[in-house]
Chain A
């Protein structure tokens, strides 16, 4: 069938990505045309008005709600990208780590579609997906990824797009979680990241030196691990001692707290960059939106003569496009077979 061969040769690859690791239900269509990526759709449930579709309110804790959302989200992703099931070449599913009930909802839906459509499926580690959010750009390897979000704080070493290993992680709270909890202690609301950061910026603008000081946990631990729980407790003691806090005092606490988090993350990244002869530093995860952390890491990269990458914000928080990109590179390494759905199971503890 010469015509068919001709057609296949110039057909772009189309990947359906599915992500349900925690709160978000997401589906995306990624088109790859001769190595260049085009995110044709990237639907995240919290952004669309699903409750008008099936009635009732979508609770914030969505675990089992994924089951209700997933078909609508996938359908929306296909419609927005003007793609039919028969056009899809590969399904990429984030089958772990995460919340088991959430993961099962997405994984089983993806496997069912793989079987029904006869499309190969590949499982993508959710954390690797976060890193892959950077791969819209050509990366210089070896690279170091500082992966920080509400649920994770990890340092990942990448030798190539699909060759990576974790070299360090938090041993207690994630960085994003520490921001949320400090915001809570100061009565600043949720989510804590943007507001703590804004308060810190106000203090910075005042040009003053903070009178409060917080520890830089594990800065000299000799490994690449972090600990943010003790820092949180230290903030608690300080806040208790200070009594009733006005806005200026809160700004000062936020500033020093953010400085502590950023310093630890940056210094460990620099240490790793030197030890592993890194050529570029990248960020991933929701905390990549933190301007202070971003500028600190970017500054460090510049000083060391390294490239620096950070995905646009909508690719930093949980989304399916990053899973599709990750799936593309993993599939290049080991091509997924049509019956691969038989081998895929949701794994809440899947370590990178």
Chain B
């Protein structure tokens, strides 16, 4: 367990970038935390770290957004938001679970606690707590 305090949005973004550098493909990152706690910012950082150009916007409405990655091993980033979902069954319904065991893919699941029954065992869990304007971020691999 790694505990990090970020003081600005930029620091949260950079944490995502740093995290992405350690990825080899096949990672599933579960983001857990309240509204405004920094989940999408961290996801944007991961995307940036994987070399994705262009805007990575919130997938809340559309539920799942795939991005092409031009890495040696990693070819795809899948950004999922379970905010509007109620169970693992919904995750299957949108085709999200298909990406979990793909070695060429990094999958980020925001609001992962809402669909934990369907997530793989091998997870990177990132928990966000709001501490005033700071964020306490706990990473468990």
A residues with a Cβ closer than 8 A to B are: 21-22, 59-65, 97-102, 149-152, 169-174, 176-177, 180-181, 184-185, 229-230, 232-233, 236-237, 240, 348-349
- The answer to the question of B9 belonging to the interface, with a C-beta cut-off of 8 Å to chain A, is yes
Q: Please name the residue on chain B nearest to A171 by beta carbon.
A: B55
Q: Is the CB of B94 within 8 A of A61?
A: yes
A288 to chain B minimum Cβ distance, whole angstroms, is 16
* In the complex, per-residue mask of B43-75: 1 if CB is within 8 Å of any chain A CB, else 0: 010000000000101101111111100000000
* Complex-state Cα separation, A181 to B39, whole angstroms: 14
* Complex-state Cα separation, A146 to B7, whole angstroms: 34
- The answer to the question of B120 belonging to the interface, with a C-beta cut-off of 8 Å to chain A, is no
Q: Is the CB of A185 within 8 A of B35?
A: yes
A111 to chain B minimum Cβ distance, whole angstroms, is 19
Q: Is the CB of B66 within 8 A of A348?
A: yes
Q: Is the CB of A99 within 8 A of B60?
A: no
B122 to chain A minimum Cβ distance, whole angstroms, is 24
A192 to chain B minimum Cβ distance, whole angstroms, is 12
Assuming A61-B93, A348-B66, A349-B65, is B35 touching A169 (CB within 8 A)?
no
Q: Is the CB of A63 within 8 A of B133?
A: no
CB-defined contacts of A236 to chain B, threshold 8 Å:
35-36, 130
* Complex-state Cα separation, A63 to B92, whole angstroms: 10
Q: Is the CB of A100 within 8 A of B93?
A: no
- Chain B interface residue count: which class? 20 to 34
CB-defined contacts of B41 to chain A, threshold 8 Å:
229
Contact of B57 among A98, A99, A173 (CB under 8 A): A173
CB-defined contacts of A169 to chain B, threshold 8 Å:
55, 57
CB-defined contacts of B64 to chain A, threshold 8 Å:
99-100, 348
B interface: dominant SS: loop
Q: Which 10 A-B pairs have the closest CB atoms?
A: A151-B61, A236-B36, A233-B36, A101-B95, A63-B94, A150-B61, A173-B58, A61-B90, A64-B93, A63-B93
Q: Is the CB of B35 within 8 A of A181?
A: yes
Q: Is the CB of B61 within 8 A of A177?
A: yes
CB-defined contacts of A101 to chain B, threshold 8 Å:
93-95
B130 to chain A minimum Cβ distance, whole angstroms, is 8
Q: Is the CB of A98 within 8 A of B62?
A: yes
A296 to chain B minimum Cβ distance, whole angstroms, is 23
CB-defined contacts of B66 to chain A, threshold 8 Å:
100, 348-349
Q: Is the CB of A177 within 8 A of B94?
A: no
CB-defined contacts of B85 to chain A, threshold 8 Å:
61
* Complex-state Cα separation, A101 to B128, whole angstroms: 30
Assuming A236-B36, A349-B65, is B95 touching A64 (CB within 8 A)?
yes
Q: Please name the residue on chain A nearest to B41 by beta carbon.
A: A229
- The answer to the question of B40 belonging to the interface, with a C-beta cut-off of 8 Å to chain A, is yes
- The answer to the question of B84 belonging to the interface, with a C-beta cut-off of 8 Å to chain A, is yes
A330 to chain B minimum Cβ distance, whole angstroms, is 23
* Complex-state Cα separation, A348 to B85, whole angstroms: 19
* Complex-state Cα separation, A21 to B63, whole angstroms: 11
Q: List 22 A-B contacts (CB under 8 A).
A: A22-B63, A61-B86, A61-B94, A64-B94, A100-B64, A101-B95, A151-B61, A151-B62, A169-B55, A173-B40, A173-B58, A174-B57, A181-B35, A181-B60, A184-B35, A185-B36, A229-B40, A229-B41, A232-B36, A236-B130, A240-B130, A348-B66
Assuming A230-B9, A236-B35, is B58 touching A63 (CB within 8 A)?
no
Q: Is the CB of B58 within 8 A of A177?
A: yes
Q: Is the CB of B35 within 8 A of A174?
A: no
* Complex-state Cα separation, A102 to B64, whole angstroms: 11
A147 to chain B minimum Cβ distance, whole angstroms, is 13
CB-defined contacts of B44 to chain A, threshold 8 Å:
172
* Complex-state Cα separation, A62 to B55, whole angstroms: 26
Assuming A170-B57, A229-B40, is B62 touching A22 (CB within 8 A)?
yes
* Complex-state Cα separation, A349 to B55, whole angstroms: 11
Assuming A184-B35, A229-B40, is B93 touching A59 (CB within 8 A)?
yes
